[in-house]
Structure 1
Amino acid sequence: MDPNSSKKHLINRLSPEELKERLANETFKRTTVSFYKYVIIDDPAEMRDTLYSMWDKLQCYGRIYIAGEGINAQMSVPDHFWQDFKEQLYSITDFNNIPFKIAVEDDGQSFLKLQIKVRKQIVADGLKPEEYDVTNVGKHLSADEWNTAMDEGAIVVDMRNHYESEIGYFDGAILPDAETFKEELPEVVDRLKDNKDKKILLYCTGGVRCEKTSAYLKHHGFSDVNQLLGGIIDYSRQVENEHLENKFVGKNFVFDNRMGERISDDVISHCHQCGKPCDTHTNCSNKQCNLLFIQCDSCRTEYNGCCSNDCKSYLLAPPAQKQELAKQLVFTRGKRFHKPFKSA
């Protein structure tokens, strides 16, 4: 008997087309939620299987990372199963009362399937265990406290990657020119090295990267480290519910099929192909490239959803010509980078 036969139901076996059809045929609403927690998990693989079995029965979709240091999840949960989802998750001692961040804009299309992966870290940062202590993190600030600290002149640092901050940020924030969180950490320490006694404000999408960053900064001698409670996602909710001033400009990039949630009406970025105001991210339709870039509706039509004429040529080429074209053309193969448009 196959020793893994009992676990074969713990992975998705549907094609992308079948997944899209399944989601399109649903007659109920979904809620997109994100959450994380740094906590010691003795057996991440066993926890992964437990959660998959539990959430698959509730028709949950999403992308979840489990590691010995905790959990980081972005999920889509059917509304009629929300209470079951919450009660089952909280029944696990390590995750009891874990705070949720509910999506600002939600069309129910954020995820197509359930993916739970075991990783070495819940956020790839390249840090050694002795370089941080997640029990010694910065102070968590509410939206109101955050606004006050900004008004008082605190140093604000965006702990997201450049393609995220390109479409939205807190006005006056330091925006590192980094493509990965791993690259960003040493850059931030270097840029702040002369301000170790100043009040530092950290923010990111949902808070998980700031948790690690605040511990890293405190390890490096920064004395007044603060982080936005619940990240940009929960900041927007607090601003709306408490009728506070919104200091975030533009869109919040999110790591699901939506690729962005509008926080303010400002469009601060430009189409990477023509330069028109635009803040809609997309992936190149040429799957051999898959570049993440910003594209307006006009360029999407002109380039057939591709990032360049080369990719358009490849996409539209007859199957017999694709192999030869692939030898001639250079594709990005998924890199999340595109040189921003610059006017003449």
Structure 2
Amino acid sequence: MDPNSSKKHLINRLSPQELKERLANETFKRTTVSFYRYVIIDNPAEMRDQLFEMWSQLQCYGRIYIAHEGINAQMSVPDHFWQTFKEQLYTIPQFKDVPFKIAVEDNGQSFLKLQIKVREQIVADGLKPDEYDVTNVGQHLTAKEWNTAIDEGAIVVDMRNHYESEIGRFEGALLPEAETFKEELPEVVEKLKENKDQKILLYCTGGVRCEKTSAYLKHHGFSDVNQLLGGIIDYSRQVETEKIENKFIGKNFVFDNRLGERISDDIISRCHQCGAPCDTHTNCANKRCNLLFIQCESCQSKYSGCCGNDCQTYYLAPENEKAELEQRLVFKRGKRFHRPEQSA
């Protein structure tokens, strides 16, 4: 008997096309939610299988990371299973009463399948577990407290990658140029080394990166470290429900099929191909490339959803010609932001 046969149902085996058709044929609504918690998980693999079985039965989709240090989840939950999902999650001691961040814009298409992966860390920082105390975090500020701190002149730091801050950010924020969180931590410490006694405000998408950053800054001697409660996602909710001023301009980049939620009507970025005002991220239609970049509707039509001429040539070529084209065309093969060459 195959020793892994009992676990074959714990992974997805449908093709991308089958997944899209399954989602398109659903007759119910979904809610996109994210949550995280830094907590000791003794056996991440066992927890992974428990959650996969539980959430599969509720038709949940999403991308979830489990590690010894905790959980980081972005999910799509059927509305009619929401209460069951919440109650079941809260029965697990490590996740009891974990706060949820509900998506601002939600078309029900955020995820196609359920993926739960065991990782070394839920947010990779490249540091040893004993290098700093991740539980010694900064003060969490509500949207109202955050706005007040900005008005009083605090230093605001964007703890996201620069392709995220390109389409939306708090005005005047320090914007690191790093492409990974691992690179960003030392860059932020270096940029702020003369400001250790000033009030520091950290923000990110949902709060998980700021949690680590605040602990890291405190470890390096920063005395007044604060973070946005619930990240940009919950800030937007608080702004709307409490009718307070929105200081975030543009879009909030999200790590699901939507690639962004509009927070304000401002468009602060430009198409990477023609330079027209645009804040719509997409992945190059040539899957050999898959570059993440900003593309306007005009360029999407002109380049067939590709990031440049080489990718378009390959994407539109007959299958029997693609092997030869791969030998002479250059693909960027990236999923992170690298501005494509301007095409004629």
TM-score scaled by length of structure 2: 0.98
1:292 aligns with 2:292: yes
Q: 1:8: which partner in 2?
A: 8
Q: 2:169: which partner in 1?
A: 169
Q: 1:48: which partner in 2?
A: 48
Deviation for aligned residue 1:131: 2.5
1:152 aligns with 2:152: yes
Deviation for aligned residue 1:130: 2.6
Matched residues in 2 for 1:133 and 1:185: separation? 15
SS at match of 2:130: helix
Matched residues in 1 for 2:19 and 2:8: separation? 18
Matched residues in 2 for 1:76 and 1:248: separation? 25
TM-score scaled by length of structure 1: 0.98
Deviation for aligned residue 1:339: 2.1
* Aligned residue type for 1:3: P
Matched residues in 2 for 1:207 and 1:133: separation? 17
C-alpha distance after superposition, 1:78-99 (max 9, x if no partner)? 0000000000000000000000
Does the Cα contact within 8 Å between 2:37 and 2:72 map onto a contact in 1?
A: yes
Q: Which runs of 5+ in 2 are unaligned?
A: none
1:74 aligns with 2:74: yes
Name whichever of 144-153 and 121-130 sits farther off. Answer: 121-130
C-alpha distance after superposition, 1:153-208 (max 9, x if no partner)? 00000000000000000000000011111111110000000000000000000000
User: Structure 1 250/341 Cα, relative in aligned 2: closer, same or farther at 3 Å?
Assistant: farther
Q: How does 1:123-134 map to 2 (within 5 A)?
A: 123-134=123-134
Deviation for aligned residue 1:341: 8.6
Matched residues in 1 for 2:2 and 2:335: separation? 38
Q: 1:261: which partner in 2?
A: 261
Matched residues in 2 for 1:330 and 1:185: separation? 32
Q: 2:118: which partner in 1?
A: 118
C-alpha distance after superposition, 1:38-61 (max 9, x if no partner)? 000000000000000000000000
**Paired residues, number:** 342
User: Structure 1 340/131 Cα, relative in aligned 2: closer, same or farther at 3 Å?
Assistant: farther
Matched residues in 2 for 1:248 and 1:321: separation? 47
Q: 1:301: which partner in 2?
A: 301
Deviation for aligned residue 1:335: 3.4
Does the Cα contact within 8 Å between 2:308 and 2:341 map onto a contact in 1?
A: no
Does the Cα contact within 8 Å between 1:274 and 1:341 map onto a contact in 2?
A: no
Deviation for aligned residue 1:340: 7.5
Name whichever of 124-133 and 295-304 sits farther off. Answer: 124-133
Does the Cα contact within 8 Å between 1:110 and 1:256 map onto a contact in 2?
A: yes
SS at match of 1:216: helix
1:189 aligns with 2:186: no
Identity of aligned residues (%): 82
* Aligned residue type for 1:161: N
* Aligned residue type for 2:300: R
Q: How does 1:180-259 map to 2 (within 5 A)?
A: 180-259=180-259
Matched residues in 2 for 1:226 and 1:332: separation? 38
Does the Cα contact within 8 Å between 2:283 and 2:335 map onto a contact in 1?
A: no
Does the Cα contact within 8 Å between 1:270 and 1:341 map onto a contact in 2?
A: no
Matched residues in 1 for 2:176 and 2:205: separation? 15
Does the Cα contact within 8 Å between 1:76 and 1:108 map onto a contact in 2?
A: yes
* Aligned residue type for 1:286: N
SS at match of 1:110: coil
Q: Which runs of 5+ in 1 are unaligned?
A: none
Matched residues in 1 for 2:28 and 2:210: separation? 34
Q: How does 1:304-343 map to 2 (within 5 A)?
A: 304-339=304-339
Matched residues in 2 for 1:253 and 1:132: separation? 29
- RMSD over aligned Cα atoms: 1.0
* Aligned residue type for 1:165: S
Name whichever of 300-309 and 131-140 sits farther off. Answer: 131-140
